Amino acid sequence: MAAWQAAGDRADDTAEPDRPDGSTERTRLQLVAPEATAARTVTAEPRAAEPRSSLAPTDLELPGARPQPATAPVWPGSWQPLGARFHTGPDGRPGTNFALWTAGAEAVELCLFDEDGAETRHPLREQTFQTWHGHVPGVLPGQRYGFRVHGRWDPWTGARWNPAKLLLDPYARAVDGAFRLHDSMYGHVRNWPEQDVADTVRDNRDSGRHMPKAVVVHDDDDWSDDRRPKTAWADTVLYELHVKGFTQRHPGVPEELRGTYAGLAHPAAIDHLTRLGVTAVELLPVHQFADEEHLQRQGLRNYWGYNSIAYFAPHAGYAASGTRGQQVTEFKRMVRTLHAAGIEVILDVVYNHTAEAAEGGPTLSLRGIDNAGYYRLQPHNRRSYADFTGCGNTLDSNQPQVLRLITDSLRYWVTEMGVDGFRFDLAAALARSPFEVSLLAPFLSTISQDPVLSRVKLIAEPWDVGIGGYQVGGFPPLWTEWNDRYRDTLRDFWRGARPDVRELGYRLAGSSDLYQQRGRRPYASVNFVTAHDGFTLRDLVSYNGKHNEANGEDNRDGTNENRSWNCGVEGETDTPSVNALRRRQLRNLTATLLLSTGVPMLVAGDEMGRTQGGNNNAYCQDSPVSWIDWTLLREDAGWQALFDLTARLIRLRRRHPVLRQRAFFSGRAAHPGGLRDLAWFTSRGREMTESDWYAPGATLGMFLSGEEMAEQDQLGREVHDDSFLLILHAHHRATRFVLPGAPWAESYRTVVDTSLDTQDTAPDRFCEAGSTITVPSRSLLLLRATGSSGGGTGGGAGAGNSVNGSS
């Protein structure tokens, strides 16, 4: 456009945005050049929708009746708690208090919707501490509602208020309706001819018809009948699963419950978890989330759910019982059932960004409530977002109101929904203060002193996509971390890509090089080989490259750094030798994971050979590609054998504290004349020297002394256990290994041998100390040492044993 006119002048240009009914409406434009900036701002103002008038007051609904929008006047109410809280009003009658924080808004309307979708608007006239609030008599649980927020439209300064857009309550306990993005759900005119400024052109079409609605929920559960497992970190075995994908194809779960919270609580699902022996499920995101528009256009879904929009609401799509608050009760029942089985519930939470995306994204909640108050904006261009997440926006956790939103949400899930901990997606983004990652960031400081949150399990994904965002080993005490260095090391070792064993020693012993200096413990390291993001365990040994064509991005999405090896053939094959090698590699990776010091994390289905056909970014595959195929256990004895081995290793870990150390190894004897708690051996049966760590090699022996554990039980008594020798051999040829003699042991018995297809037929091999055994190619052996003399260590604890857990 050649001319930009002052506010209030009429422009010659007009726009005809589509209306929801498919017709068009002539629109007057205002072209505004704000005095505060030299940049230009455009505002398109279609005719505002007429609000429905309030009717005369009516009697309250009878119990069990469908709630209707209240028509009583709005009383002042309270500014806290935020959100919608059903309670008895000042007149002794039931009603709901509504409270919404927004610092710069000029007016806030509460919008109530009846069963036919008709909207009644109630202005919230009270404002306390930047919170707009009011009590509405007669609003009962199940009532659907939203907000409209009035204010300036000036994207160049970060102001994006648009009362034509119905907004979801950030504190909504439940959400009714799916997010099917429509053009009216965008605060700006998306098809504006000048796309470089399209996000600055306000679109005044009403979005209420298309927006999902918040639901009033009554929280009255005191959890008095619940017994939390409270599993110690060192005893924890994590199991990452997707609520839907775990049971969607489970034959033992009734069809109407598959893919739901109730399905996960079904005895058939619980039985698998208890037989396997895991102590905690780590659920992929269950906060209400939205599907991105580009996925909707392709007929795909955001299956993983890392696109949150309501941090208090269980995702309604996983509820079998209903979406008008029933999802809350169903989730609670699931948690209770898992607790009764001794299984903790940990949520994967996404507080780093929201589903509103970048400035070109939809206006669903926070953007329309107070854009600059919730999001990190570029300091010199507040029209744009600071993006440390790769998803278009980043929540500003340095802002008090954002920090309150996050911590209120976390406490809600602990105290009212019963969960036991959280895994924080891209946690480094939450620790930026304001732009660099800092251990003194408000988020970390607040969590550390919170009387509720400091007592639950806290897991960080210790990185984001910004500069300086990789923070593995950098989080403070109380936190555990996904240890991707463990993942990469194990993948490289077993595919034969590591020239020496230095890195492997640290990872097997709890990664003291990453965690010990900050006063943390070995269980600060969440050890994993696979996760939801990337190849499944079976695909890791079946594909050299990703195969993501089904995602609709021409195989450009997903990482190319898989550190995988297909064992000679890409993809599925009928070649017996290749399949035998692949299954051995699966046993090697699984056994190493469960015998390492730290907290192991398994991924649902890996214990039975789940495959995604080489897709390493199945975030949009809400289909059999991602759902667990339970026929694997029934139709293939080999996958049943892998499940049995996994369960056996978990039982072994639970029975032997030497395999789940609570303190880092010292490399010294706990008693005069005793053995060191940890020693490393070459295949010749001698302790490793400094040069051995740097020499090319694919074989490593690790001796764990159960007599020298620096651990006490609850009564202060010393803990003693069996001693074990772990041998890992990644070469394609067998090797001879000399078993360490006195003082380490007098003899050894085989406990685990991954060269065997099944451990049920494994011979209970007895070997004299000092004898030479043959270790098959690409295999792991776990041997129980017997008859150690407890004499001298056979050498110092210095350079000759440098990777000792404390070097």
Left (φ > 0), alpha (ψ -120 to 50) or beta: where does 66 sit?
Answer: beta
Q: At what angle do helices 326-340 and 267-276 cross, to 10 degrees?
A: 40
Q: Which of 291, 292, 356, 425 is catalytic?
A: 425
What the block records as the tokens of 69 is: 């929008």
Judge whether 395 and 426 are in contact, CB under 8 Å.
no
CA atoms within 13 A on the CB side of 10: 4
Nearest to residue 164, comparing CAs of 261, 259, 296, 49? 49
Give every CB contact of residue 790 below 8 A, 6+ residues apart in sequence. 671, 673, 674, 675, 707, 743
Strand, helix or coil for residue 729: strand
What amino acid is encoded at 792 in this protein?
G
Question: How far is residue 722's CA from residue 325's CA, in Å, rounded to a whole number?
Answer: 52
Active site annotation includes 461: yes
What is the end-to-end Cα distance of the chain in Å, rounded?
A: 67
Q: Which residue is catalytic, options 344, 461, 692, 708? A: 461
Query: Which ranges of 290-349 would DSSP assign to H, the alpha helix?
Result: 293-297, 326-340
From residue 188, alpha-carbon distances to 184, 201, 468 in Å are 9, 5, 34
Residue 568: how many other CB atoms lie within 10 Å: 12
What does DSSP assign to residue 435?
A: S
Residue showing tokens 């975030």: 619
Is the CB of residue 340 less than 8 Å from the CB of residue 227? yes
If you ran DSSP here, which 8-state letter would residue 743 be given? T
- Mapped onto helix, strand or coil, the DSSP state of residue 93 is coil
Mark whether 746 is an active-site residue: no
Measured CA distances, 657 to 5, 123, 438, 477 (Å): 76, 62, 35, 22
DSSP, residue by residue, 709-726: ---B-TTSPBP---EEEE
Say if strands 479-483 and 457-460 run parallel, antiparallel, or are unpaired: parallel
> Which residues are catalytic, by number?
425, 461
